[in-house]
Structure 1
């Protein structure tokens, strides 16, 4: 019948319209062939040519040491997998709860797909949020050590995922996958992970809560480990896995599960004394930074790589000594952190997160208090206010519905300059009222305060959107790392860089495989001269007679009259340094003499000690000069 119709069609007169449609059909056939046929042929050829590495090869290749070095080339520390971390766990010995938690989180279609989930890949492509790689693809990625974000690599990954699905059973694939992935803390495989986090042997006694915790580590262990990011962040990740288990029917919706934070042990390397606590903080920060740049721990260990950090050996030791020496005569509850940043490059020269436990105080947010005022001043300068324009401020003021009462320290003629030096709070609350909370937040972000920390918005209320009245007095918590980086923008005369601890990554041959690149850019205005003027005016209000710009401050939480955080943050053209002193339980800070602790006492002493050691061979002349600051006595 079709032949007769074709003959009838051919018998029709050959008109221009028929010729045009004939060309269109030919183009359509060729287009369809190119879009479908060529990829299929390429897929088939790649399927025949490419080979999948055996799990035995992969496991043997993971036993590598990663060396972290100071900027002078001396060894900082080594990341060595703990004994037993390579213990192979057969599929039959992987507890069902842990297996289900991993599959529910990483690849819900694992048992049925042909190596990859087209829906997941399509969703990741359309939303642009990443992800989309299932368990088989992750195994291919880990086994090849190739994590490059290229179409060629992704195509090869899909081919190999399909091929291994044909060659091995799903049980064999899962067994290989779960034994080569990193769970963090230098562990590979579920047995080592269970021991590292819970100090237990891996068996069927594992709880759903423990299984959800371990499954949550797989995606980004350097970030999700509570020792690195705190229990609040780790709990949010655990809740995500718990919800996946319930949504996908592995756990009954009414099953009671609790975040097992109290059961999680301190990292094994600190308990064993393999590294000190302050070195552990550096290690975690470096690994988290590299993970964001496409170098997770597994990839580093596969390639016997060396990480060159930005840390200055001498300055790091001097900061540790200054912190320890000054705190040894103070109450034992005191905790401290020091971060120093090179204003020109953003290189972190000092990173001291404390040596009294696994909590990293340098990357933990603390209320900034009056150390936030330079950002308020910069916001005013952006709006045309001069540093010497009077800012009347009555003792009682209301801002966004909250009443503030501070003594009138410098009278009706008080200017931002005199207010900064007299540690007067009222004028800065008055400026906040004139400028609005968004102006303060925006300017702090321009200086370098990040939008989020561990997924939580900074300088916002708990809802993540509103800016409350507390921004006027620095009530919102900020990290010492970010404060040092933001003050570095003032030191660099209004040019901003990104604080970083990693300079380069080298492979076994010494070749550079990754290098930090960053270009300084104007922070406060697209016009570089205007941004410079703003920064110089801020520096002029902070500069003392000793040739450095310093702001000491403290923070009062809520309506409490007692300060819980004390800061000293300042800079020279060569270095911006932030010092924080506080406690684990936000108690009122009183020094050894019983006096209320303020920023110009213990924190300032530590700051001066660090800066003196750092500038032994340098001339510390600030971009602008000014009279010495007036420090506020304890009150």
Structure 2
């Protein structure tokens, strides 16, 4: 007890000392602080986004003249009341800062309640935005509090409110309430009514997030919060609140968010600005502090990504689209990014797309994690899954029976479906492995990836049934390239203000180990032969080791494809390439042939990687450790019987005009349920079918179907049924 009393006594003696010291610092800062008039403040409104070499990628420049100073007498009281309700309900009585507001903010942080309220008063916000900036230091905070207190003593509340409303950023490039009234409602500020005032006030906290054009539900919720606040402050009666209706808001125009950036860099700009928000760099800072934002984009890699993505599509049908992302495995830095050529349009690198056989890699990860070696042998014969589902291989391809490495190289659906059913967790294990690698748990409107709405994971996950993004595939494969260590993909490296103050700088980190190194390295070993095997797309003439996998998904039961992929890596760079259309129509090339992963996507991938790595040293992958007594790709004897030789024949040399042999076979009517799955229907018929013109390749992607066999692994009915997922 004496010890406790002694500690309490010491603490009790120290607290007054701390209060005295802080009080002295505050008084000194208060005495030395000066409070300029609003029109004395000069603001730099240009932010510059640059690559790793300092080359300009984009600018964020609000439109010239998009700030109109108006006297407080011209700003309707309902606008002022709405802003008070949104930002500082004790504005009329506080002395520049609010003890209760600060307490609510601290309590909100402790409890995780974001609606608890902010700690900054309107006066503090004005001082921070217009005078002292947003640097996270005690010195800056003391200065903000001191100036806010001094301003509250020297200025009238009308002076403070007028300066604040003429300075604050409302989104869409609008600085000040007069510009905001024009931007959102095409009205003079004097004509803004209560419902419209609440919209303007709602935007201040986070202009992009609460913009009704992009997030109507959140904007309306915030609007109701403002109206409720107006009732609580006495500015509006409850009866009047009930009469309010959310007003019509004008659509944003291109020049409202600043100087538009055309071309692929515009999409990088969007991603950078979104990432800044997650780093707590506010829109106000971006728009007003002259920021220099250094990204992870490497100009050499970016040139390769954009140039080859466009060059390889020259002469191809105009409907074809492509996206490519390159990630550095050792850091997660996004070195190259191409989501399309319209900088203000759709970003295909952020689209959820079916990945086809490129997802088989994660089934192999799951198997190795459970101690299943690469030497594990499975039959490649058609597989009848529970529930009447049938899984077959593209073009009737087969190896007889073969190990997992050979089956990955040949992209055999039946082997990997059989493997999946043997795993602890089955389909869920594949999804979990993909999430571990870097496929996010959610993105965009997808609340939970790699599963159905009811939470179940279908077997089609192993064949790429569920959508993933190009960025995420590059990142997940980068984890394998880094021997199982995950680094979060990112664009932003450093953020500085116009005077050189560093607001953010990314520090090197060791990443997070997601897989044992021997798991990732054995997957890499199994993938090393694939680039060369897939129509000869090895890197640097075959001298640079790479690990890769193609993927193709079919367009329903049409026999055509809609998505084609190539994803692969070296120790220095992981790149994912997708080719498709903007309306999921049939993929065909300039000659009218079907596009597969081993075609255009592999050509683009090879060219990007060769260009990007041209002046970099050739690095070997680590030697894999043993799993189940096997390290790396096991030796597998070639087929010996005539029947085995027939079933393992290689269609990779077939030209686009060659066809598979004509066969006569008996088929049963089938109903396609999901990619790679069918259920038998009553009845059957005998049919004779010629193989379609094949664009055969070493990834088993030829269209030389035999007797109505679908490319994606589902046997067709009367020669018309097709599988949904190709290889």
Classify 1:31/1:550 alpha carbon distance in 2 versus 1 (closer, same or farther; 3 Å): same
The aligned counterpart of 2:65 is: 84
- Kept in 2, the 8 Å contact 1:336–1:579? The answer is yes
Alignment partner of 1:120 is 2:104: yes
Q: TM-score, normalised by structure 2?
A: 0.69
The aligned counterpart of 1:320 is: 306
Per-residue deviation at 1:58?
A: 7.6
Distance in 2 between residues matched to 1:586 and 1:98, nearest whole Å: 47
Distance in 1 between residues matched to 2:381 and 2:271, nearest whole Å: 45
The aligned counterpart of 2:702 is: 633
Per-residue deviation at 1:488?
A: 1.5
Distance in 2 between residues matched to 1:34 and 1:220, nearest whole Å: 39
The aligned counterpart of 1:3 is: none
Alignment of 1:228-627 (within 5 A): 234-245=215-226, 248=229, 252=241, 257=246, 263-268=251-256, 275-300=261-286, 302-356=288-342, 357-391=344-378, 395=382, 405-407=391-393, 409-410=397-398, 413-433=401-421, 434-436=423-425, 437-453=427-443, 457-459=447-449, 471-508=461-498, 514-521=504-511, 523-525=513-515, 529-530=517-518, 532-537=520-525, 539-540=527-528, 542-544=530-532, 546=538, 547-555=545-553, 563-620=561-618, 623=621
Alignment partner of 1:75 is 2:56: yes
Alignment partner of 1:45 is 2:27: yes
Per-residue deviation at 1:468?
A: 5.7
Distance in 2 between residues matched to 1:143 and 1:292, nearest whole Å: 23
Distance in 2 between residues matched to 1:402 and 1:45, nearest whole Å: 81
Per-residue deviation at 1:554?
A: 3.2
Classify 1:40/1:570 alpha carbon distance in 2 versus 1 (closer, same or farther; 3 Å): closer
- Kept in 1, the 8 Å contact 2:171–2:257? The answer is no
Distance in 2 between residues matched to 1:472 and 1:247, nearest whole Å: 51
Gaps of 5+ in 1: 1-16
Classify 1:566/1:265 alpha carbon distance in 2 versus 1 (closer, same or farther; 3 Å): farther
Per-residue deviation at 1:224?
A: 6.7
- Kept in 2, the 8 Å contact 1:51–1:160? The answer is yes
Distance in 2 between residues matched to 1:213 and 1:581, nearest whole Å: 42
- Kept in 2, the 8 Å contact 1:50–1:160? The answer is no
Classify 1:275/1:442 alpha carbon distance in 2 versus 1 (closer, same or farther; 3 Å): same
Distance in 1 between residues matched to 2:586 and 2:466, nearest whole Å: 17
Distance in 2 between residues matched to 1:203 and 1:402, nearest whole Å: 67
- Kept in 1, the 8 Å contact 2:374–2:405? The answer is yes
Distance in 1 between residues matched to 2:78 and 2:371, nearest whole Å: 62
- Kept in 2, the 8 Å contact 1:552–1:600? The answer is yes
Classify 1:544/1:595 alpha carbon distance in 2 versus 1 (closer, same or farther; 3 Å): closer
Classify 1:510/1:153 alpha carbon distance in 2 versus 1 (closer, same or farther; 3 Å): closer
- Kept in 2, the 8 Å contact 1:573–1:622? The answer is yes
Distance in 1 between residues matched to 2:242 and 2:378, nearest whole Å: 59
SS of the aligned residue for 2:621 comes to coil
- Kept in 2, the 8 Å contact 1:421–1:631? The answer is no
- Kept in 1, the 8 Å contact 2:391–2:413? The answer is no
Q: TM-score, normalised by structure 1?
A: 0.78
> Which residue of the other structure, out of 18, 38, 56, is the alignment partner of 1:56?
38
Distance in 2 between residues matched to 1:76 and 1:291, nearest whole Å: 19
Distance in 2 between residues matched to 1:235 and 1:336, nearest whole Å: 31
- Kept in 1, the 8 Å contact 2:355–2:552? The answer is yes
Distance in 2 between residues matched to 1:207 and 1:469, nearest whole Å: 56
Classify 1:55/1:72 alpha carbon distance in 2 versus 1 (closer, same or farther; 3 Å): same
Distance in 1 between residues matched to 2:553 and 2:528, nearest whole Å: 23
Alignment partner of 1:179 is 2:163: no
> Which stretch has the larger CA shift, 615-624 or 67-76?
615-624
Classify 1:120/1:510 alpha carbon distance in 2 versus 1 (closer, same or farther; 3 Å): closer
Per-residue deviation at 1:83?
A: 0.9
Distance in 1 between residues matched to 2:196 and 2:567, nearest whole Å: 41
Higher gyration radius (CA): 2
Alignment partner of 1:147 is 2:128: no
- Kept in 1, the 8 Å contact 2:487–2:512? The answer is no
The aligned counterpart of 2:678 is: none
Distance in 2 between residues matched to 1:485 and 1:523, nearest whole Å: 14
- Kept in 1, the 8 Å contact 2:85–2:227? The answer is no
Q: How many correspondences in the alignment?
A: 601
Classify 1:342/1:36 alpha carbon distance in 2 versus 1 (closer, same or farther; 3 Å): closer
- Kept in 1, the 8 Å contact 2:49–2:59? The answer is yes
- Kept in 2, the 8 Å contact 1:222–1:288? The answer is no
Deviation per residue, 1:480-526 (Å, 9 max, x gap): 2222222122222323223222333345566766422132335333x
SS of the aligned residue for 1:298 comes to helix
Per-residue deviation at 1:120?
A: 2.8
Deviation per residue, 1:364-397 (Å, 9 max, x gap): 4333333333222212211112233134577466
Distance in 1 between residues matched to 2:218 and 2:603, nearest whole Å: 39
Per-residue deviation at 1:405?
A: 4.3
Deviation per residue, 1:517-572 (Å, 9 max, x gap): 132335333x5x44553553454474536243222223468999765433222112
